[in-house]
Structure 1
Amino acid sequence: MKTNTRFILLTCLLLCFYACDRKPYPQSLIIADSLASIQPDSAIALLKTLEDNIKTESESTQMYYRLLCIKANDKAYIRHTSDSLILLVLHYYIEKRDERHLPEAYYYAGRVYRDLEDAPQALDYFEKAIETLPEDANYRLRSKIYSQMGTLFLYQKTYDEALKMFRKAQKCNIILKDSISMAFNLRDIAYSYRCIDQYDSSLYYFQKAFDIAKLQKKHSLITIVQSQISSLCIELGKYDLARQTLQPALDSLDIRSKSGIFSIASELSHKTGHIDSAIYYYKEILKCGTIYAKQAAHKGLAEIAIDCNNPQDALLHLRQYIQCTDSIHKITDTETVRHLNSLYNYQVREKENNQLKAENEKKQILIIYIFSIGLLTLSLSFAYLQYNRRKRLQLSIQLKQLQQLQKEQYKKSALFIEENKRNIKELKYKLQQADQTNKVLRDQLKEQIELTLCANKQAEIKLARRKQASTILLKSEIYNHIQKQLHTTKISKNLLSNNNWKELEDAINNTYEGFTENLRKLYDLNEHEYHVCLLIKINISPIDIAKLTMHSKEAITSNRRRLYEKVFGKKGTPKDWDSFILSL
C-alpha cells in the first residue's frame, strides 16, 4: 500500500514539474523516463497503461516508447531474450541521426547483446555509444558504458583492458561526485588487480571501496566488499585478517549473498583447523549454494571424513562431488558452444554488412562458414570432453598417490609416535579392565600392544635416522659450496654447474630415500621447477633460490604457488608448497 501511495505522489509531482515545459513527447513518457532509473517497476506499470494509446501517436513517439520499455526492463533486471525490438529502435535513430537518443540506443543495444551472451557485438555497440556521445557531456551514461565494457573484458579474461575501462568509468564518477558508483568501480578495479595477482593493489582498492560504502552506509555493498577482502586474505594466508573482515558479512547475511559468504567462511574454517565450523558452513552451502559452491562443499566434507577415518561419509561426499563436477562440465560445454556460435554470428553479421552487393557469393561463404564452424564446434566439444576425462583421471590418480605418500610420511613422524603412545596407554587400560577369565581377549590386547610398540620403535628409529641424516646433509660439501656461492661477489650466469645440481640431488636422495621418485610420481617437473624443489629441501630462502636459479623472487613465488595448485588440485600459498617439500 505504501509503495502505491509513493508512486502516485511521485507521479503527481513529476506531472506538475513538467506541466509548463514544452517537450516533443507526451508528458506521461517523460515521467516514465524519469521513473525508469529510480523505480523501474513503477515505470513498467505506467508504460503498460500507455500501450494502446501509443499506437495512435507519431513514429518518433512510438520509438521513444519502445526505447523506454527496453530501458525500464533493463533497470528492473529483466533479462533481454531478443534483439528484434532494440534493432528496430536503433535503426530508426541511426536513419534520423538523432544525437539525443542514439547514444542511449547504442548503449541498450549493448546491454541486450550482453544478455544474449554475444560479447563481441555488445562491445561493438558500447564503443559506438561512446563515439556518438558529445565530448564532456552525459558523464552518467559514459560511466555506465565504460563499466559495462570493463565487465565484458573481465569475463573474457582480458584484464588490462578491463582495468582501462573501469578507470575511465571512475573518472566520470568523480566528475559526477557519485559516491556509490565510485565504490562499485573501486571494487571492480580491485577484483581486476586480484585476477592478475597484484594483491597489494587489490587490497588497496578494496579498502577504498569499503571506506566509501561505509561512509554512505550502503550495507549491501559493505557486505560484498568485506567478503571479497576476506577471500583475498585467505588466498594470501592472512587468516586472522580474513576472519576479522568476514565476521560483519556473516552477521548481515541476505539470501543472494549466502552462497558466496558461506563458501569463504567454510574455506577459512577448514584451513584454520576449525573443523566443526567448516562442517556447519559446508552443510549450509548444500542447502542454498550454487553448483560450484556445492562442489567445493562436498570436496571439503570428503576431506574431513577421510581425516576423521569415516570412509562411508567420505565415499558419499566424493560421489556427490563427482556429480557436481559432471554438472559443471555440462554447463561449461554449453557455454563453450554458445560462445563459438556467438563469435560466428558476429562474423556473419559483419560480412553481411560489407557484402550487400554480392548475394550469391555471400550465400556460398555463409554455407562454408556454417559447415566449418559446426565441424569445429563438434571437434572442439569432443576434444574438450576427452581432455576433461583425462584430466579427471589424472587428478584422481595423482590425489591417490599423494594420499598414499602422506600416509607413508605420517608413519615416520613424531605425530604417529605420539598417537601410538596414546593407543598403547588405552590398550593397557583395557588389559587391566579385562576379565581374568577371558584369556582370548587378554591375549589379543597383549598382541596389539606388542605390535604398536614395534611400530613405534621402527618409527622412532626412522625419525632419528632422518634427523641425523639431515644434520649430515647440512654439513656436506655441496651444501657448503652452495652457501659459499651465495656469499660470492663474483657475477656469473651459473652459480651452480650441472655437476653441482647432480651432487645436490644425490645428497638429498641419500638422506631422504626416494625423494626424487616420490616427487616425480606426483607431477612431471621441468628442470627449473625441480631445482627449486631441491633448494627448498635444504632450507634455502626464496630470495637465495632466485639468485641461484637466475630468476626474480616474484617468479620463484609464482612457481611455488603454481606447483601446489598442480599437485593438490586446489589453490594454496607458496609456503604450503614449501611445507610439503620439507615433509617428503
Structure 2
Amino acid sequence: MHTNYFLKIMRKRVFHIWLTMLLSLASCTQHHSPNVLLMQADSLMEAYPDSALRILENVEPQQLKTPANQAYYALLLTQARDKNYIVQTDDSLIRIAVQYYDSIGEVAMQAKAHYYKGCIYRDANLCGEAVQEYLTAIPLAKKTENQKLLGLIYNHAGYLYYLQNLVEQADSIYQLAEKLAIQRNDTSLWAEALSFQGKINIRKGTTYHSTAEKELLKAFEMTSTSSHKRVQADIAASLSSLYSRMEQKEKAIQYAKLNISLREDTTQCYTAFLLLGDAYFKIGKYDSATIYINKSLLTTRYGTKASAYMRLAEIAQIQGDLEKSLTLTDKYTLYLDSLHAAQQSNDILNAEKKVAKQQYTNTLSYDKHKQLILITASTILILIIIIGCIILNKHRQKAHDLEQSQSHLKQEQQELQERYLQVRNELKKKDTVIAALQQEIDQQQADEEKRQQLRQELDTLQKERDALAQVVFEHSKVSTKIERIINSYKAYDKSDEQLSEEDWKCLIAETDMRWNRVITRLNAEYKLSKTEVHLCCLFLTDLPIANLPYIIQIARNSIYRKEKEIRKKIDCPPEISKLKDFLENY
C-alpha cells in the first residue's frame, strides 16, 4: 500500500519536472517552431488540459504565419479553455478555425470546430445558435466515426433542449447518447443520459415517476466511484426532487443531504440547499427548512431564488405572519419576472404569472380583511346575480342566433346538395347523348356533310358537358372542404381539417369526370406516385400555387420541384409553359 502511494507521488513529481522542462523549452523554441508547440498541447489535451492551456498561453499568435497554424491554434485554445471550465462568450477566435476547416473540408477538424463554437454559444446563453452548431457537427463526427465527440455533442445538445423544456426532443437525443455510451462502454456518458431521461420523466408527471426512479437509481449505481462525484451529486439531487414529488419524504431528505456531501465546495451548493430545505418543508420541519432555504438565496440564479422565496412565503403564511408572507411573495414575483425575461418567455407565461400572483394575494388579503369582506359580501352577491342575469341573457341570445345560423347553413347545404345531384344527373345524360352522337358519327361513312353537321352538334354538346362538369366539381363536397381549409389557413394560419384518403379518392373521381378520365389514363400509362396523382388533381383546379401547400402539406418550393419531375415523367413538351394546359388536353 505504501509502495503504491510512493509510486503515485513519484509519477506526479516526474510529470511536473517534465512539464516544467517542456515549458522552458517552449519559451526558447516557440519563435522557430510554433507548430511543434501546438502538437505538444494537442497531445496533452485529454489527460492534462491545464498543462495544454499553459503551453498555448506561451504561444505568440503573431508568430503563426500560415492560415493552417492560425486555425489549429484557435481551435486548441478554445478547446483548452472549455476543458478547464473557463466561460467563453466571444466567438471571434473559434470563427477562424471554423472558416478555415470549412473552406478546406477537413471533416475531423470541422466537427471539433463546430462543436466548440456551439460550446461558446452555450456559455453565452444563445441556445438556438448553440444547437445549430451541434447539429452541424453531428454528421461530421459520424462521418469520421469520432464516437467520443459524438457523445459530447449529444449530451450538450440534449441539455439545451431540456433547458428550453423541449422534452420530447431532449429525450430522443439522450436515447441516442445512451445507445452510443453502451457501444463505447462509456460509463460517464451512459449515466448522464440515464440521469436526464429520469429528469425528463419527472417532468412528464406521476405516471412516469416509477420509470424515472429506475433510470436514476441505475445511473446512481453506475457512478459510485470517486471519479464520478459531480455526476452522482446531480443524480442525487434529481432523486431528492423525485422522492419529494412521490411523497417519500425521508428518502427526499436522504438524497438531498447526499447531494450536498458529494459537492466539492459545500458553501456554494445553492440548489442543493434549496432541495434539502424543500424536503424539510414537506415533513413540517419549518425551522430547518428556513435555514437551508435562506442559504440558497446567495445564488445568482433567478429560478432558485424564485423557488426559495415562494417556499419562505408559504412558511410565513403557515406561521401566521401574513405581512412577511406578502413581502416574500413580492420578491418571488420579482425573481419570477427576471427568470421569464432571461428565458424570453412569452405573453402567456407572463399572464399566468400575474394571475397566480393575484390569486395568491387575494387569498392573503381575505385573511387580513375578513371583516370588510363580510360587510360587502351582500352587495357583491347582488352585483354577481345582476351580472349573471345579463350574461345569461346574452348567452341565450347568442345560442338563439347560432341556432338560426346553423339552420340557414343546413338549408343552404341541402339546397347545394340537391343542386349537385341535379347537375350530376344532367351531366350523366349529356355523356349518354355525346356517346350516342359519337356512335352516329362513326356510322356515317359516306355522307360527309351529315358527319360535319353531327360534329358541330357534338362540339356544342361537349362544351355544355364541360360547363356542367365544372359546376358539378364546384358543388362537390371535396371542393367545398378544400375551400374551407384554404380560408382557415388564411384567417388563422392553421386548419382543423385535412383531406382524408376518402376525400382524395373523391377528388380523383371528380377530376376524372371533369377532364375525361385524365388521371386514370395518366396513371395507367406512367405509373404516377400517390403524391404525383394528388398534385395533378390540384393543378387542374383553378387554385393558385400559393394555396396548394395548405391542401397537400408540401412546401411551395417542393411543389415546383415535383411539377418539374411530373413534366419529365409524362413527357410534357417544353414549349407548353403550364402543366395544367398539358393535362387539360391530354
The farther-off stretch of 215-224 and 204-213 is 215-224
Distance 1:325 1:64, change over 3 A: same
Whether the aligned pair in 1 keeps the contact of 2:303 and 2:335 (CA below 8 Å) is no
Correspondent of 1:174 among 165, 171, 182: 182
Q: Deviations over 1:420-446 (max 9, x none)?
A: xxxxxxxxxxxxxxxxxxxxxxxxxxx
Does 1:225 find its partner at 2:190? Answer: no
Aligned to 1:262: 273
In structure 2, give the amino acid aligned to 1:211. Answer: E
Does 1:393 find its partner at 2:401? Answer: no
In structure 2, give the amino acid aligned to 1:206. Answer: L
- Could you say what the CA RMSD is over the residues aligned between the two structures, in angstroms? 3.7
Aligned to 2:455: none
Correspondent of 1:293 among 287, 293, 304: 304
2:223 is paired with a residue whose SS is helix
CA distance in 2, matches of 1:307, 1:52: 63
Distance 1:54 1:256, change over 3 A: farther
Gaps of 5+ in 1: 17-23, 338-379, 409-513, 518-584
Aligned to 2:420: none
Aligned to 1:115: 123
Distance 1:11 1:35, change over 3 A: farther
CA distance in 2, matches of 1:155, 1:287: 22
The farther-off stretch of 98-107 and 209-218 is 209-218
* 1:150 Cα deviation from its structure 2 partner: 0.9
Whether the aligned pair in 2 keeps the contact of 1:36 and 1:72 (CA below 8 Å) is yes
Distance 1:329 1:212, change over 3 A: same
Does 1:196 find its partner at 2:207? Answer: no
* 1:10 Cα deviation from its structure 2 partner: 5.1
TM-score by length of 1: 0.54
CA distance in 1, matches of 2:144, 2:102: 22
* 1:53 Cα deviation from its structure 2 partner: 6.4
Distance 1:102 1:250, change over 3 A: closer
Aligned to 1:315: 323
Distance 1:216 1:283, change over 3 A: closer
1:50 is paired with a residue whose SS is coil
Mapping for residues 312-351 of structure 1, pairs under 5 Å = 314-316=322-324, 318-336=326-344
Correspondent of 1:97 among 90, 105, 114: 105
1:37 is paired with a residue whose SS is coil
2:86 is paired with a residue whose SS is coil
Whether the aligned pair in 2 keeps the contact of 1:299 and 1:321 (CA below 8 Å) is yes
Aligned to 1:281: 292
Q: Deviations over 1:453-504 (max 9, x none)?
A: xxxxxxxxxxxxxxxxxxxxxxxxxxxxxxxxxxxxxxxxxxxxxxxxxxxx
Whether the aligned pair in 2 keeps the contact of 1:104 and 1:141 (CA below 8 Å) is yes
CA distance in 1, matches of 2:55, 2:147: 27
2:72 is paired with a residue whose SS is helix
CA distance in 1, matches of 2:252, 2:352: 36
In structure 1, give the amino acid aligned to 2:247. Answer: G
Whether the aligned pair in 1 keeps the contact of 2:256 and 2:276 (CA below 8 Å) is yes
* 1:402 Cα deviation from its structure 2 partner: 8.4
CA distance in 2, matches of 1:200, 1:213: 20
CA distance in 2, matches of 1:7, 1:174: 35
The count of residues paired between Structure 1 and Structure 2 equals: 354
The farther-off stretch of 213-222 and 64-73 is 213-222
Correspondent of 2:64 among 46, 49, 55: 55
Whether the aligned pair in 2 keeps the contact of 1:295 and 1:321 (CA below 8 Å) is no
CA distance in 2, matches of 1:11, 1:153: 43
Distance 1:80 1:403, change over 3 A: same
Does 1:130 find its partner at 2:138? Answer: yes
Whether the aligned pair in 2 keeps the contact of 1:226 and 1:249 (CA below 8 Å) is yes
Aligned to 2:462: none
In structure 2, give the amino acid aligned to 1:32. Answer: A
Aligned to 1:493: none
CA distance in 1, matches of 2:349, 2:317: 31
Higher RCO, 1 vs 2 (CA within 8 Å, ≥6 residues apart): 1
Whether the aligned pair in 2 keeps the contact of 1:266 and 1:278 (CA below 8 Å) is yes
User: Which structure has the greater CA radius of gyration?
Assistant: 2
Aligned to 2:578: none
Distance 1:287 1:251, change over 3 A: same
Whether the aligned pair in 1 keeps the contact of 2:121 and 2:130 (CA below 8 Å) is yes
* 1:307 Cα deviation from its structure 2 partner: 3.4
Whether the aligned pair in 1 keeps the contact of 2:309 and 2:328 (CA below 8 Å) is yes
Mapping for residues 353-392 of structure 1, pairs under 5 Å = 388-392=353-357
CA distance in 2, matches of 1:25, 1:173: 36
CA distance in 2, matches of 1:318, 1:117: 33
Distance 1:394 1:32, change over 3 A: same
Distance 1:305 1:332, change over 3 A: closer
1:87 is paired with a residue whose SS is helix
Correspondent of 1:248 among 241, 258, 261: 258
Aligned to 1:423: none
Aligned to 2:315: 304
Distance 1:127 1:220, change over 3 A: closer
CA distance in 2, matches of 1:59, 1:279: 58
Whether the aligned pair in 2 keeps the contact of 1:206 and 1:225 (CA below 8 Å) is yes
* 1:116 Cα deviation from its structure 2 partner: 3.2
The farther-off stretch of 184-193 and 77-86 is 77-86
Q: Deviations over 1:179-199 (max 9, x none)?
A: 222222221221122222221
Distance 1:386 1:60, change over 3 A: same
* Sequence identity percentage: 24
Does 1:184 find its partner at 2:187? Answer: no
Whether the aligned pair in 2 keeps the contact of 1:153 and 1:161 (CA below 8 Å) is yes
Distance 1:52 1:132, change over 3 A: closer
In structure 2, give the amino acid aligned to 1:36. Answer: M
* 1:296 Cα deviation from its structure 2 partner: 3.5
Whether the aligned pair in 1 keeps the contact of 2:111 and 2:141 (CA below 8 Å) is yes
* 1:250 Cα deviation from its structure 2 partner: 4.1
Distance 1:70 1:396, change over 3 A: same
* 1:252 Cα deviation from its structure 2 partner: 4.5
CA distance in 1, matches of 2:24, 2:54: 16
Q: Deviations over 1:402-430 (max 9, x none)?
A: 8999xx9xxxxxxxxxxxxxxxxxxxxxx
Gaps of 5+ in 2: 1-8, 26-32, 374-380, 385-586
